[in-house]
Structure 1
Amino acid sequence: MTTDQVYGLAAGLLSAFVFGVAAVAQAHGVRRTSASPDRLAEFVRTSVRDAWTWAVLLAYLLGFLLHAVAIWLLPLYLAQATIAMSLPVTAFASRRLAEHLDGAQWSSIGLVTGGLVLLSLGSGEAGSVRTDAEFVLSLWAGVALLAAASTLGGRLGGAGLGTLAGLGYAGSAIAVRGVGTPIDAGTVLAALAVPSLSLVAFWLYSRGMAGSSISATTAPMIVGQTFVPAFIGVALLGDGVREGWWWSVVLGLVLSCVGAVRLTRAQAGQPVG
């Protein structure tokens, strides 16, 4: 790995730690209030008056800035896969370090970690910034589609809402690739798409955790925000893979996501298979 990639990987892992702790704090914040998060306007109105929510948002902002560094320095498939490491952090934080993890949970953490090692070994150069009209229009089409899909939230449950949140965070990560210099109209619109997608995703994630477990909502979110940017990054944004190392990248992605899902199922007390 190059020096830039080492820095990017370190930033990604630090962001995963921050996101993991913030997810537990977010779940606590959602459950401690009687206000329903079903409507976005109501959710925002309630949140801006709540000091706990502001603290969670500041934590997410720090995590996002670290993650943005990873996105700029790493291929999206690796930058996004580092987020899977937030699940072990969530597992520890949600138990307040008071209980030991069992064998299934430790093996799942091992899968996530092993997947990241394989991704790192196969990682090539990150793609360049893209601000053309087609890219920017696609981002805002994603905002509109996600907002429309959110109307189905009441029928989706925690897993469905987590999936939509994952797509929102995936779009936000992709939009970061449109932010660069020189600053022009395309750069500004791409930059605005980042918080727009993140806000809707944060809201959907909160809705999922309000009526379901952290685990059930987080697992599909992480799978979505890992695989979608990975595919887009390689197919459309110029992310590279070391020659002859495609097997390592594909296997690393699969192991990371399988480990994330197994960990959440183990936390929820479901058979992991």
Structure 2
Amino acid sequence: MMCALGSAVCFGAASVFQALGARAAEPGTGSGVDVALLWRALRQWRYVAGLGLDGLGFVLQIVALRTLPIYAVGASLAASLAVTAVIASHMLEVRLSRTEWTAVAVVCLGLAMLALASGREGHESPGAVLEWGLLAAAFGVLLVGAAAGRLPERPRALTLGLAGGVGFGVVEVAVRLIDSVDLADPALYALLVGGGSAFLLYTSALQRGSVTTATAGLVLGETIGPAVVGVVWLGDRTREGLGWLALLGFAVAVAGSLTLARFGEAPAREEADAALKG
């Protein structure tokens, strides 16, 4: 659980740096799959620093996924928005309302409930069907991202967020399925395609459009689906008699994170410049 929380801290801090870097880059085409935008963002040191934190967070996430149910790790990752909110309140001088400070506390409460109720990871073998299904879902994320660029702003942001969340969810499940590096393993390619697609889509969402809506979609996409897969196909369970507490903790943590969704949004250029000077 400490690794899961550590990954949330890394991802939450990375979001602030990546948001600053993405907004400082030249505007993209508006397509969800805009590789050129990602390349321009990589020229910003803050975006690169965010990727470094993401790398550390991913290592901690892998450790957590090898010992905890996916639903517990997924809720912890969603809680990274609480970390982002606290960091943004200091680094970007963003005011948190009383409701948002309450949401931060609610997220912490939900995670504490999950920590108490979570059992160990399941060890059921889902077979090749799930692995190939993950790979299909990963490529589906790319297709949805490409199509999202033609949508109006609001549905575009929601679609990019949900698709990006599904991509990160594919990564969560794939980590559980991969025991060793096997070039014939479809789960390995699902991890690579799903993670890369999610980064492309979310970078585009950070740069343009209603990112508050996109971040809410991201939270839902990366938590609910993987949690269901973990329980139904992988055998994730709770401690004896505490299933209700795990379900309640999951719902509370995700609901609190959704309240903080606006902190997934890139700051205005003026705020980015002020943060640099500070």
Q: TM-score when scaled to structure 2?
A: 0.84
The alignment status of 1:91 with 2:85, answered yes or no, reads yes
Alpha-carbon distance in 2 for matches of 1:68, 1:102: 34
Within 5 Å, give how 1:103-122 maps onto structure 2: 103-122=98-117
Within 5 Å, give how 1:195-214 maps onto structure 2: 195-212=192-209, 214=211
Q: Which position in structure 1 is the counterpart of 2:259?
A: 262
Within 5 Å, give how 1:40-51 maps onto structure 2: 40-47=34-41, 49-51=43-45
Q: Which position in structure 2 is the counterpart of 1:18?
A: 10
Within 5 Å, give how 1:148-163 maps onto structure 2: 148-154=143-149, 155=151, 156-163=155-162
Alpha-carbon distance in 2 for matches of 1:25, 1:158: 20
Q: Which position in structure 2 is the counterpart of 1:6?
A: none
Aligned residue for 2:66, secondary structure, equals: helix
Alpha-carbon distance in 1 for matches of 2:255, 2:11: 19
| Percentage identity across paired residues of the two chains | 31
Within 5 Å, give how 1:1-273 maps onto structure 2: 9-36=1-28, 38=31, 39-47=33-41, 49-97=43-91, 98=93, 101-128=96-123, 130=125, 132-154=127-149, 155=151, 156-181=155-180, 183-185=181-183, 188-212=185-209, 214-264=211-261
Q: Which amino acid aligns with 2:59?
A: L
Alpha-carbon distance in 1 for matches of 2:50, 2:124: 29
Q: 1:172 to 1:260 in 2, by over 3 A?
A: same
> CA contact under 8 A between 1:125 and 1:239: conserved in structure 2?
yes
> CA contact under 8 A between 1:18 and 1:63: conserved in structure 2?
yes
Deviates more, 1:235-244 or 1:131-140: 131-140
> CA contact under 8 A between 2:22 and 2:41: conserved in structure 1?
no
> CA contact under 8 A between 2:110 and 2:251: conserved in structure 1?
yes
Give the deviation of 1:166 after TM superposition: 0.8
1:205-250: CA deviation from partner (whole Å, max 9, x where unpaired)? 1111212355333222112211111111000011112222121111
Alpha-carbon distance in 1 for matches of 2:161, 2:12: 15
Task: List gaps (5 residues or longer) in structure 1.
Answer: 1-8, 269-273
Q: 1:135 to 1:174 in 2, by over 3 A?
A: same
> CA contact under 8 A between 2:120 and 2:237: conserved in structure 1?
yes
Alpha-carbon distance in 1 for matches of 2:247, 2:36: 41
Q: TM-score when scaled to structure 1?
A: 0.85
> CA contact under 8 A between 1:104 and 1:266: conserved in structure 2?
no
Aligned residue for 1:29, secondary structure, equals: helix
Alpha-carbon distance in 1 for matches of 2:178, 2:34: 26
> CA contact under 8 A between 1:130 and 1:177: conserved in structure 2?
no
Deviates more, 1:198-207 or 1:259-268: 259-268
- Count of paired positions: 258
Deviates more, 1:149-158 or 1:34-43: 34-43
Q: Which amino acid aligns with 2:75?
A: A
What is the Cα-based RMSD across aligned positions, in Å?
2.4
Alpha-carbon distance in 2 for matches of 1:196, 1:129: 25
Q: Which amino acid aligns with 1:236?
A: W
